[in-house]
């Protein structure tokens, strides 16, 4: 099989999703990381926007972490989702809700809106239906929850999660999965990544 190349920002949780999944599937991912917010020459060679993460596999170039995850799971012949159609749909719902309403809160310690509170309630309901084991949902959310723990341990999002013990326990267990730990930065490295990203975050 041709080599798999991931181009990503240093410490990016979206790239971490892909690295953890590839580690679980033992796919031998080759990672090229660059400074946060700077155009990657490797990415620009494949994409006019230079947007990352980007997966290059031979002549195939893919963006978007969920799409890349789907592709890696297919390569590894791994379902990654529950067997039943209803359970799979709820799994995907949890992933979509997280990205739509919560992922952005990881990067800035903003107040949690009433809508986000409702989403957290729904997420708790959804995740408690699933065992904590290597699965697409765990690899989807764990990199972001780790950043919350590293970046804003007293922040409003973590406080909101703490008020939902079932969700909090599930997220902690997902972060303890071996592929997540094996591909995680240290707390010190993670904080350094956040500091490097601050000029970009402040400009948006």
What domains sit in the chain, N to C, each tagged with a CATH number? 4-78 (3.40.30.10), 85-182 (1.20.1050)
Of the listed ranges 38-47, 58-67, 181-190, the one predicted with least confidence: 38-47
Mean pLDDT of 143-165: 95
Instruction: Say yes or no to pLDDT of 37 above 90.
Output: no
- Number of C-beta neighbours around residue 52 at 10 A: 24
Of the listed ranges 26-35, 140-149, 172-181, the one predicted with least confidence: 26-35
Q: What backbone torsions phi and psi does residue 183 show, to the nearest 5 degrees?
A: -110, 10
Instruction: Say yes or no to pLDDT of 50 above 80.
Output: no
Interval 84-117: pLDDT, tens: 999 999 999 999 999 999 999 998 888 999 999 9
Instruction: Say yes or no to pLDDT of 200 above 80.
Output: no
- Helices 136-151 + 13-25 axis angle, to 10: 140
Distance of CA 156 to the CA centre of its chain: 20
Chain position carrying tokens 């009433």: 114
Chain position carrying tokens 């400009």: 203
The answer to whether 144 and 99 are in contact (CB under 8 A) is no
- Number of C-beta neighbours around residue 97 at 10 A: 18
pLDDT at residue 11 in the model: 87
Residue 175 to residue 63: CA distance in whole angstroms: 24
pLDDT at residue 197 in the model: 80
The answer to whether 139 and 97 are in contact (CB under 8 A) is no
What does pTM read for this prediction? 0.92
């Amino acid at each position: 099989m041709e080599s798999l190349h991931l181009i990503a920002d240093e410490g990016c949780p979206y790239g971490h999703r892909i690295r953890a999944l590839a580690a679980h599937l033992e796919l031998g991912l080759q990672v090229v990381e660059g400074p946060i917010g700077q155009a990657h020459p490797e990415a620009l060679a494949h994409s006019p926007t230079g947007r990352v993460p980007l997966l290059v596999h031979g002549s195939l170039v893919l963006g978007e972490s969920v799409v890349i995850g789907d592709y890696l799971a297919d390569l590894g012949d791994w379902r990654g989702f529950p067997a039943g159609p209803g359970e799979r749909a709820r799994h995907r719902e949890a992933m979509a809700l997280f990205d739509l309403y919560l992922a952005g809160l990881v990067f800035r310690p903003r107040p949690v809106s009433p809508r986000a509170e409702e989403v957290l309630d729904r997420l708790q309901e959804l995740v408690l239906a699933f065992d904590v084991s290597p699965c697409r949902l765990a690899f989807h959310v764990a990199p972001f929850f780790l950043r919350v723990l590293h970046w804003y341990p007293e922040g409003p999002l973590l406080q909101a999660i703490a008020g939902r013990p079932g969700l909090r326990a599930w997220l902690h267990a997902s972060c303890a999965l071996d592929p997540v730990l094996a591909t995680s930065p240290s707390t010190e490295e993670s904080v350094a990544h956040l500091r490097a990203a601050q000029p970009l975050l402040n400009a948006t």
